[in-house]
Structure 1
Amino acid sequence: MRDVLTDSDLRLQFAGHETFPLRLLWLKKAFDAVAYHGADRRTFQEQSAIAQFGVGKNMALAMRHWAIATGMLAEEDGSLVPTHLAWLLLDNRAGLDPFLEDPSTLWLVHAALAGTPEQSTTFFFAFNTLNQAVFDRGGLVEAIHDLAKMRGARATAETVKRDVEVFLRSYAPRSGDAGEDAAEPLLAELALISESRLSGQFEFVRGPKPNLQDGVFALVLKRFWARWHPDAPTLSAEQASYGAGSPGRVFKLDEDSVMARLAKIGDVTSGAIIWTDTAGLRQVSMTRKLDTIDDNALITSSYPYRRAA
């Protein structure tokens, strides 16, 4: 498959977070401000942001960045609006997980960052393009800076270095951080990246991910299929496991775990996608168009306790 970062006109982004990783309550604060108090993009830029959000101006800008990058807020005609996903998850009365306590919410947030190159290029590159399981900070910076130069992106080596540091701290926070930086990043709980304190190297943690619900897996498979293979009636098991943007890559699932989830995909999608494993042919097929699969139903099915209540 073509390299989606080099062989396309995708916009690359390596800044906007003001060097702050995504923190636990930032998405909820940003959503509440826009949904219930009429905040707009200027609100996050003004000195009043300190009183509005309880953080400094730069952190408020980071909150806005992460809310947009994770698909909770969108910019429309110069204004900020909550997305349907944000209402579904974060609404005070009917939201599935207003305070981001359920692992499914963390997986959805992670999938938005690791699966969307335009908003968080470093996240996408690391999870989908970097092939080695063990890597170091310097090597990742060099690889991404080479990409930026090849694409003619306006990103200095220092900009990329800061972006890589934010990426790493989003999943493997530094033990010596103090103050606001000591607050555990939202995505650290997923344990997707581990750091060796002795060697300074990082490692992706591959495996079955027991707290990843099948509905979230199916949603990412659908998005991967619709975006990168829109005309293909089938996807091979290899594509679902190793393709850039695939659930296997985004969630760092081992191949056996991907196969086990694909075997259940018909039940999860009400038969819209079915699994075939016969005569050495392992693939998923569409029985009807992908846009007939209800994203809301996939997400809601991933909150079984909330749904039962």
Structure 2
Amino acid sequence: MSSPAQPYRGVFPVAPTVFDASGALDLDGQRRAIDFMIEAGSHGICILANFSEQFVLTDAERETVMDAVLDHVAGRVPVIVTTTHFATQVCAERSRRAQEAGAAMVMVMPPYHGATIRVPELGIYDFFRGVSDAISIPIMIQDAPVAGTPLSAAFLARMAREIENVSYFKIETPGAAGKLRELIALGGDAVVGPWDGEEAITLMADLDAGATGAMTGGAYPDGIRQITDAYAAGRRNDALDAYARWLPLINHENRQCGLLACKALMAEGGIIAHETARLPLQPLHPDTRAALIELARRNDALVLRWGR
């Protein structure tokens, strides 16, 4: 089955990387997590992102996870592969491999290292141009505070206009709605996909600003769809009501749990056997985890029922 036609729109959650109790890759659990995410309504899936703990994986493990997921999805939904790396050459090669393996898109952060090593706009521009030259699928620029790299709306719009495959943007910075609005105004048709990020905590404001996609945590695409489907159908009040219902859970994930939330919910629901995060990441405090489960249960999130 071929992937849906572009432009890609809708809910594209980030899949966790699933480990066993010892911290080794659990590919059977990985496949179950992917099946759940598709059946819960994901229009597509993103893998190897920060919420996938990409920074604790070896290069060989990245390849293993990518190939396992793309083979298992088998075109049921488009898959975005995160290929971020500081070096243009390495990022370009990762992106080329992702395309060859069947990725619909790559997601890339601007080059940064540690707390202080940054490159100027010229270097960032040349970086994305080099990655674009290596592939023929879309590039999503991930504009996130973790990079510590300011990317103005004007600069993003310029790259969209001038670099062939730069066409999607995941905006996670403070004031995301305002930035999306400016990006759309400046970039015009070159901005194919202005997307909401950061677990949908600002989803309504971003939809009102023109966002056409949402990249959220992977545990409750069924809940996010209640918001985005209503909005897309022109039922803004219904979307607001759904947002109000799901926002306590979104907020708890974003502010209290971070990347551990998805695996905790999937483990609680019997989708995966272990919610292990690789050291030095620490497990959720039991009280934080209990509150997460409580909030998901109040909304009858499919994640708590799918694997039972």
One fold, TM greater than 0.5?
no
Q: Which has the larger radius of gyration?
A: 1
Question: TM-score, normalising length from structure 2?
Answer: 0.29
Greater RCO, 1 or 2 (C-alpha within 8 Å, sep 6+): 2
Question: TM-score, normalising length from structure 1?
Answer: 0.29
